[in-house]
Chains A and B, each alone.
Chain A
Amino acid sequence: MADSGAASEETIFQLLKKADPKELEQRQQAINEKRHKTFELTQQRLAELIDQNSTLPTTVSSVTVLGASNTRHGFLKRVVDPLLSANRSRPYTQSELIHEVANAATRLRRFGIYHEPISVYLDKPAKTDPTTTPTDVAVYYSVKERSRIFAKTGTDLGNAEGSAYANVQWRNLFGGAETLDVNASVGTRTRSSYQALFDTPVLSNPDIHFQAAGVQSATQKVFASHEEVLKGGWSKLRWVTSTGSLHEIGYNGLWRQITGLSQNASTTVKSEAGDSFKSSISHSWSADWRDNPSLPSRGYYAKTTAELAGWGPLRGDVAFFKSELETQSALPIPLPGVKGDSGISLTTGFRAGLLYPLALGSSPNPEPSRINDRFQLGGPNDVRGFRLSGLGPHDGPDAVGGDIYAAGSANLLLPLPKVGKDKPLRFQAFVNGGRLLAVRNPEKEGPMTHQEVKQSVSNAIHELSNGLPTISAGFGLVYAHPVARFELNFSLPLVVRKYEEARKGVSFGIGINFL
């Protein structure tokens, strides 16, 4: 560091005197360059060290994190403690040490509270210190903390929905990489939404997070002529396993209100109006082994969710067990005569779900499902060629949802001539379909007994394969932007049920998750 010389220091002093933005920028650049140079030098020194001494026994006497003035000592201690030789049974070899030091740096980086890059220095402790041994090295991490508060406002213009939002984020709230994120938005369909989310890593481990949130929102459900107002909170523990799959387990407590019914709402929706409290525990597991989530050419994605509401001590006003499965797989199709990747791929998706009514508390009979717990199916993001929630039971103008569903799709993706396979643009031909069914007892109105529920669920499962599913087919263009996937399709329905809302012609979809 000292060799950058007195001359450059002088210029920095001169720069400091003037403070116009251009100068500031240059100054920042100068600092960056200097830091970069130092970093490179360190790297070089490290490389030499490793080369010369890769098997040399080494011990770590101290680890220092520089520049982390707002981070708790105890929090950092957990991250770096495993490095210290005092906590290990045998000395490192030099190369092991480098590996472990880099691992700890990666952990530090993943908390997202420091600027990139995090520099690492290794040094020999002063020989005058009688407590050190000749094999000792001292490890220094030099970090720069990111700003602790971050605010953003903006507008989103999505498909058939416009919204404005304000977002404030506090990073490293209590010095342990905790985040508090407060978000407010108003829109045309989600009329208002407020959320405060607190997120903290557990035991200084960036792979395990605990989250708690409070939410309040009002959403227009035009497909069923009502507005749903939500107030409540949830908390969850999420962790990533060594194979890269994500687990989430949580509790949800939500006050839901079906209100603001439109003039011509069906009697089914009218009977759903009012308040209910959902108290549930849930688990979800997902694994993504696709090469590209929004435009996969190979790989596999799977997700399962399970939710238990109102059972036993959970109480609340609704009781059910709800389970969903979602998979997608992509297969590259080689072209004879073309070497390497042809850019042609076949993706297939499958989703299914079941809502099984349970009895609430001391009630003898299971609770029939409510519209806000039932599944909806159809729309540009799942079964294409149908209106939003176009499949399943309809009462008059309203898609009232179902308790059991299955949907599948097969898409053949072809690169466009002249554009090539490297651009995220594809031509697609698809066929997709599904069924969405209600669990019901045709003989009687009102709550069913356990036996009747069992019978009705088994009838509904049987009905899934009765006749062809509701199907549509079409073709279109897919554009995979890093933020979302866009689809413009032309499609025609092949098989429908009476009152299901198919769409003939062109439709447009934006989303992250497509069937």
Chain B
Amino acid sequence: MNDNDCGTDDTDSLKTTRNPNKTKAQETLTRSWWSLPQPIRHIFDRFPLVTYPENELPQRAPRHQNENVLYIFQKQGPQSRDGPSFNPSCLKWQAYLKFHGIPLRTRTSNNHASPTGALPFLLPASQDPRKPVVPVPANRIARWVVSQGGKEEAVQIRQDAYTALIDHVIRSAWLYYLYLDEDNFQAVAWPLYVATTSTSYAIRASLAHQLRHAAREELLKTNTVIDGQELYRNAEAAFQALSTLLGDNKFFFGQTTPGLFDASLFAYTQIILDENLGWKQPTLKFALQAHGNLVRHRARLMSGFFSA
């Protein structure tokens, strides 16, 4: 028997008035269904007799500051508060929002916090701290930016094909590079994704296994066998194509300001070229360094949008 079981719904489901509109709606509903006599209703309305101010939230609760908050994977510590995420999907949207000048605060989090099961997601600013706002998942951030007055991006010719290069070819190589290469996994993925979750070795080992298993499953969706060298060769070819596409332009497709495509590529080039991460088998780093314009593209965005 469950000894902290809860009650069924009451006949008169008046709650302590938090939202007057809702209570009014409930009242009309209750009236028609239960037709509580008016005098009793008046008596009910007198309770509670005393209402004190609210209880304060615990120390771990974030203090409300009425601003847009992007939940991402991010290194802990005050100096990296505004730094780039170490996760490509998070960094893509973090960069995109910055490119559009959206005032933003990032919060270090993990996939469990996300309504979709994966970071990032955006929690728009709200006036009332106690009223929950609907989170914006990653795939709706672009639309949300437009709704906030951002400019809609024109789709360029053949952009889809190039986006596919990043989202499939480079991503596949990336998954292998980070998760399945044993040395890189221990040197980079472990401290970033595993060690931050718990101090318990058993939990870390279990999560590490889950991560690598998921990466393998993901790669097997599009490849019959996982051949790391093949994935790296494809990525090299993709970098070559993207380098040719960028040419001598500052940003892709000859734009004067960076857009979603720049964010998508930057999400990978920044992390691959990040000197702080200590890659043990820097295959992709070398492949990328062969293309000076891509390296400069990353440096340009880094200094333009992420210099503290």
Interface residues, chain A, with chain B CB atoms under 8 Å away = 158-161, 190, 255, 257-268, 270-277, 279, 315-317, 360-361, 368-371, 374, 379-382, 387-388, 392-397, 400-403, 436-442, 445, 447-448, 456, 467-468, 483-484, 492-513
Q: Is the CB of B60 within 8 A of A268?
A: yes
26 CB-based A-B contacts, threshold 8 Å:
A161-B5, A190-B2, A255-B203, A261-B114, A263-B115, A263-B135, A266-B132, A267-B123, A268-B58, A271-B113, A317-B199, A380-B6, A388-B4, A388-B7, A438-B56, A439-B59, A442-B56, A494-B50, A496-B16, A498-B54, A499-B55, A503-B7, A504-B44, A505-B12, A506-B10, A510-B5
| Known A316-B199, A502-B48, A505-B10; further 15 A-B contacts with Cβ < 8 A | A263-B115, A277-B202, A317-B199, A368-B58, A379-B7, A387-B7, A393-B55, A393-B56, A393-B61, A495-B50, A502-B16, A503-B10, A506-B10, A507-B10, A508-B7
Contact for A510 among B1, B48, B114, B197, CB less than 8 A = B1
Q: Is the CB of A496 within 8 A of B48?
A: yes
Q: Which residues of A contact B7 (CB under 8 A)?
A: 159-160, 379-380, 387-388, 503, 507-509
Q: How far is A496 from B109 in the complex, measured between Cα atoms in Å?
A: 34
Q: Is the CB of A272 within 8 A of B60?
A: yes
Q: Is the CB of B113 within 8 A of A273?
A: yes
On chain B, the number of residues with a Cβ less than 8 Å from chain A's Cβ atoms is 58
Binary CB contact string for chain B from 83 to 113 against chain A (1 if under 8 A, 0 otherwise): 0000000000000000000000001011011
Nearest B residue (CB) for A472: B48
Query: Considering the complex, which residues of chain B in the window 11-58 have a beta carbon less than 8 Å from any beta carbon of chain A?
Result: 11-16, 18, 44, 47-58
Q: Is the CB of A440 within 8 A of B5?
A: no
Q: How far is A315 from B115 in the complex, measured between Cα atoms in Å?
A: 31
Q: Which residues of B contact A159 (CB under 8 A)?
A: 5-8
Task: Say yes or no for B198: interface residue by CB 8 A criterion.
Answer: yes
Q: How far is A279 from B135 in the complex, measured between Cα atoms in Å?
A: 34
Q: How far is A156 from B166 in the complex, measured between Cα atoms in Å?
A: 53
Q: Which residues of A contact B8 (CB under 8 A)?
A: 159-160, 507-508
A364 to chain B, nearest CB (A): 15
Q: Which residues of A contact B5 (CB under 8 A)?
A: 158-161, 379-381, 509-511
Q: Which residues of A contact B132 (CB under 8 A)?
A: 264-266, 396-397
Q: Is the CB of B6 within 8 A of A388?
A: yes
Q: Is the CB of B47 within 8 A of A401?
A: no
Q: Is the CB of B2 within 8 A of A511?
A: yes
Q: How far is A497 from B56 in the complex, measured between Cα atoms in Å?
A: 10
Task: Say yes or no for B3: interface residue by CB 8 A criterion.
Answer: yes
Q: Is the CB of A268 within 8 A of B48?
A: no
Interface residues, chain B, with chain A CB atoms under 8 Å away = 1-8, 10-16, 18, 44, 47-64, 69, 71, 107, 109-110, 112-115, 123, 130-132, 134-135, 197-200, 202-203, 206-207
Contact for B113 among A274, A361, A500, A511, CB less than 8 A = A274
Contact for B200 among A260, A317, A439, A499, CB less than 8 A = A317
Q: Is the CB of B61 within 8 A of A497?
A: no
Q: How far is A445 from B81 in the complex, measured between Cα atoms in Å?
A: 14
A188 to chain B, nearest CB (A): 11
Q: Which residues of A contact B123 (CB under 8 A)?
A: 267, 270
A273 in contact with B58 given A267-B64, A267-B123, A317-B200 (CB within 8 Å): no
A216 to chain B, nearest CB (A): 12
Q: Is the CB of A274 within 8 A of B197?
A: yes
A513 in contact with B3 given A392-B55, A440-B56, A508-B8 (CB within 8 Å): yes
Nearest A residue (CB) for B121: A270
Q: Is the CB of A497 within 8 A of B52?
A: yes
Q: Which residues of B contact A501 (CB under 8 A)?
A: 15-16
Q: Is the CB of A441 within 8 A of B62?
A: no
Q: Which residues of A contact B197 (CB under 8 A)?
A: 274-275
Q: Which residues of A contact B203 (CB under 8 A)?
A: 255, 275, 277
Q: Is the CB of B62 within 8 A of A267?
A: yes
Q: Which residues of B contact A265 (CB under 8 A)?
A: 115, 132
Q: How far is A271 from B18 in the complex, measured between Cα atoms in Å?
A: 23
Q: Is the CB of B18 within 8 A of A387?
A: no
Q: Which residues of B contact A403 (CB under 8 A)?
A: 58
Nearest A residue (CB) for B113: A273
B243 to chain A, nearest CB (A): 39
Q: Which residues of B contact A467 (CB under 8 A)?
A: 52
Q: Is the CB of A271 within 8 A of B60?
A: yes
Contact for A493 among B48, B57, B114, B130, CB less than 8 A = B48
Q: Is the CB of B110 within 8 A of A274?
A: yes
Q: Which residues of A contact B60 (CB under 8 A)?
A: 268, 271-272, 368-370
Q: How far is A513 from B4 in the complex, measured between Cα atoms in Å?
A: 8
